[in-house]
Structure 1
Amino acid sequence: MQNINLYQRERRSGGGPRPRQMQLGVALVIAVLAIHGAWQGWELHTAGQAAVLAEQQAGQAEARLDVVKADFREPMLDPRLPLQLAEREAENRELRRLADHLKTLDAQRSTGFSELLQGLADRHPPQGLWLTRIRLQAGGDEMALQGLTQDQELLPLYLQSLGQSSAFSGREFARFDLQRDDSDLLQFRLSSQAVTEPDDE
């Protein structure tokens, strides 16, 4: 009968890293830490240079500011300025008033004559009375009528007829001349001005 020994001693395999692996791991960690430290040092160096440059620029800006402050003079109000401004405003008001007056005169010149002439045409003189001269000035504000009549009673009738026209409503004549000429006709002159007008005939 054969005996079989089933009991054998187990050999334990060595667990954990080997010394060579440990050395490689430590060397790798040291290398990583060295690279990280170098990077941090470079960033610190770059930040330091940037801080120095910023300080230099700030110093230059402060120096320029000091120069500007030294040259700065606070503006002073000229005491003559309010008076000059008031004079300019008065001149502008006068120019506006003159411009408005010129516009009014221009409007009178363009429209005033036509209304008066239309009024004269609508109120034709009666037979025996003739207008020989019509003079309009100042946009129609100044007017002179000159003519002849065979009968002096026709003149008041003609003036009354003109007064009924809207163009002559409220108009008054400051001068009235009436004299007989060599042809035995009555020569009349009506004028809105009392001064003697030159005779252009």
Structure 2
Amino acid sequence: MINQQVNLYTPELRPTRQRLHAGTAGALVGIVLVILVAVMAYGRWHNQTLEQQLERLEQQNRNLETAVASMANQVQARQPDPELEASLARITETIARRQRLLERVEGLATHNHGGFSGRLSALARQVPEDLWLTAVRLQSLPSAMRLEGRTRAAELVPSYLARLGDEPAFVGETFGDFRLQRPDDEADHQWVEFRVATQPGEASGR
């Protein structure tokens, strides 16, 4: 029996070691550095873009807040003043009362009460704000007059009577009786009731 050995481990089949040259290594390092620089540059650019967008959004928010504040001020400025509304309501009520008195005067004049129409017209013209007449009594023979009303300020009553003295219908007229009192009801305690009359004792009568 013949044995034959064959050597297959020839130099051609042996693994070879390839050495990395310095130039190739430098090129690889350069490529890696370029990639890193590019990534860092992109990240920085992206961050700057986000910061710019954030700044624009914050500016838009500030503009919106300014616009809202301006609109709120305009709305508040357009709201009516409560004191002005109350004053307007009082003036309107005074005008309405005077108009009602004048209408009553015209009605009396139509029914041939010419002697009283001048006085009633004067009473209506001179009624001040915050003073109300609740009753008027005029008598021709003998001549007499009684006024009843209420007011928030007692000093308005003598002022009203003084203004009546400037009216031709009341020239020479004097009020011999004058009474002021507050109502017994607590709810009406802010009011002052008054009664004045040309004849003594008339102000206490009904």
* TM-score, normalisation: structure 2: 0.41
Q: What is the TM-score normalised by the length of structure 1?
A: 0.41
State the structure with more CA Rg: 1
